[in-house]
Structure 1
Amino acid sequence: MNPDPFVQFDMWFEEARASEPTLPEAVALATATRDGKPSVRMVLVKQCDQEGFVFFTNLESRKADELAENPRAALLFHWKSLVRQVRIEGRVEAVTDAVSRAYFDSRPRGSRLSAWASPQSEAIPDRAFLEGRVAELDRKYPGEDVPLPDFWGGYRVVPDQFEFWVNRDDRLHDRFLYVRQDDGAWQRALLAP
């Protein structure tokens, strides 16, 4: 295992890209309210580097509300084709408007219109409601210029812990824990399964 967990993640992620049939960037994101009530959902990590793991979302969503109350989260990548997973815990920070805008502008036009059209997690009468809103927005924003909604943006999970898990025979799985120290260095340990 590489002494740098970001380098180790990149190596595994490249293998997942080559072998995972769909969405290797899909990750379970766990958040919790201030009083500890948890929730989890799948999101897509769109950027990962030495600063952390970035995902984008509606800023009026449950996850955004929970992150405002409790800015810590856990991520779980599970790559079934490799029989591996990576668990990450850390603090969460908002990305800059420039980062959100750059990613938003890179999305297909339909996805940009959908960001405007969907009142995320609210009850709606039927699918036709969403389709009608998209058609209305299509007329409002002809061409490629769809502005960034003020209720849409990104978050970065800044890891303070990684755990790399590998399936092994007889349930003697390998678990490699990396914990960030106060000086920024990573301490490694092999954990019992």
Structure 2
Amino acid sequence: MPLNLADIRKEYSQHELSPEDCLPDPVAQFEVWLHEAVRAEVNEPTAMHLATVGADGRPSARIVLLKGVEDGQLVFYTNYQSRKGQALVAHPFAALTFFWPELERQVRIEGRVEKVAADVSDAYFASRPYSSRLGAWASEQSQEIPAKSTLVKRAAMFGVKYPLNVPRPEHWGGFALLPDRVEFWQGRPSRLHDRVQYTLQDDGSWRRARLAP
């Protein structure tokens, strides 16, 4: 039988949200929600939808993992020569979306992106499993390959080259997004959802406001 998408509905009713409920700083508020998502054992709480715009002006999006919240910035890691890496260098702005359906919550974060310091990338890279570090060398991310065996052979080659200590390749490292707009969405009955938006002001303060759903 054909799937009737129009009939798929869910009623949201777990929590409420208002600007007065939220902390003055949106990153601090995000950390509260993230900790609650982890405690609730939601599926992949650090998974985030990363949207970028390339040099050609075309948007592109994918799921990546958040690896740190440091000094008001959200940090993730990738191959700098990948499609997203090149897009972020050409147009250093991005949007992140977290969706935690078990809590009926969504967070949208927009802002400027820059590479993290090399020593920060080094430290995180050293913490990764050995096989993941080899993978960073083996995968020419986003490039066409003739077969899966090509990737396997490259991984084996770098395994021979780096049997113990795997240095971080220069083409791999972190990006940090510094937010200037953050929105918290809490599902509510009858589609009258609660939305609280933070916008960064010229003096560095944050303005909170309720948005219509």
Q: TM-score range by the shorter chain?
A: over 0.9
**CA shift at 1:125, angstroms?**
2.2
For residues 20 and 89 of structure 1, the distance between their equivalents in structure 2, rounded to whole angstroms, comes to 26
Superposed, which structure 2 residues align to 1:137-176 within 5 Å? 137-143=158-164, 145-176=165-196
In structure 1, what residue type is equivalent to 2:187?
N
Relative to the length of structure 2, the TM-score reads: 0.87
Tell me if the contact between 1:17 and 1:24 (Cα under 8 Å) persists in the aligned partners: yes
Q: Does 1:117 align with 2:138?
A: yes
For residues 88 and 74 of structure 2, the distance between their equivalents in structure 1, rounded to whole angstroms, comes to 15
Residue 14 of structure 1 corresponds to 35
For residues 54 and 158 of structure 2, the distance between their equivalents in structure 1, rounded to whole angstroms, comes to 34
Q: Which has the higher contact order (CA 8 A, sep 6+)?
A: 2
For residues 22 and 171 of structure 1, the distance between their equivalents in structure 2, rounded to whole angstroms, comes to 24
Residue 131 of structure 1 corresponds to 152
Relative to the length of structure 1, the TM-score reads: 0.96
In structure 2, what residue type is equivalent to 1:106?
S
CA offsets 1:31-69 (integer angstroms, 9 cap, x no match): 002453100011111011333101110010111111122
Tell me if the contact between 1:20 and 1:80 (Cα under 8 Å) persists in the aligned partners: no
Residue 25 of structure 1 corresponds to 46
Q: Give secondary structure in 1 for the equivalent of 2:64.
A: strand
Tell me if the contact between 1:6 and 1:50 (Cα under 8 Å) persists in the aligned partners: no
For residues 128 and 88 of structure 2, the distance between their equivalents in structure 1, rounded to whole angstroms, comes to 24
Counterpart of 2:207 (choices 182, 187, 192) is 187
Q: Give secondary structure in 2 for the equivalent of 1:121.
A: coil
Matched-pair identity in %: 53
Q: Does 1:41 align with 2:71?
A: no
Tell me if the contact between 1:20 and 1:79 (Cα under 8 Å) persists in the aligned partners: no
Residue 85 of structure 1 corresponds to 106
Q: Does 1:107 align with 2:120?
A: no
Give ranges in structure 2 of 5+ residues lacking alignment. Answer: 1-21
How many positions carry a matched residue from both structures? Answer: 192
Question: Closer, same or farther in 2 for the Cα pair 1:182/1:43, shift >3 Å?
Answer: same
For residues 113 and 191 of structure 2, the distance between their equivalents in structure 1, rounded to whole angstroms, comes to 33
Residue 4 of structure 1 corresponds to 25
Tell me if the contact between 1:86 and 1:162 (Cα under 8 Å) persists in the aligned partners: yes
Report which of the two structures shows the higher radius of gyration computed on alpha carbons: 2
In the TM superposition, structure 1's runs of 4+ consecutive aligned residues that sit over 6 Å from their partners are: none
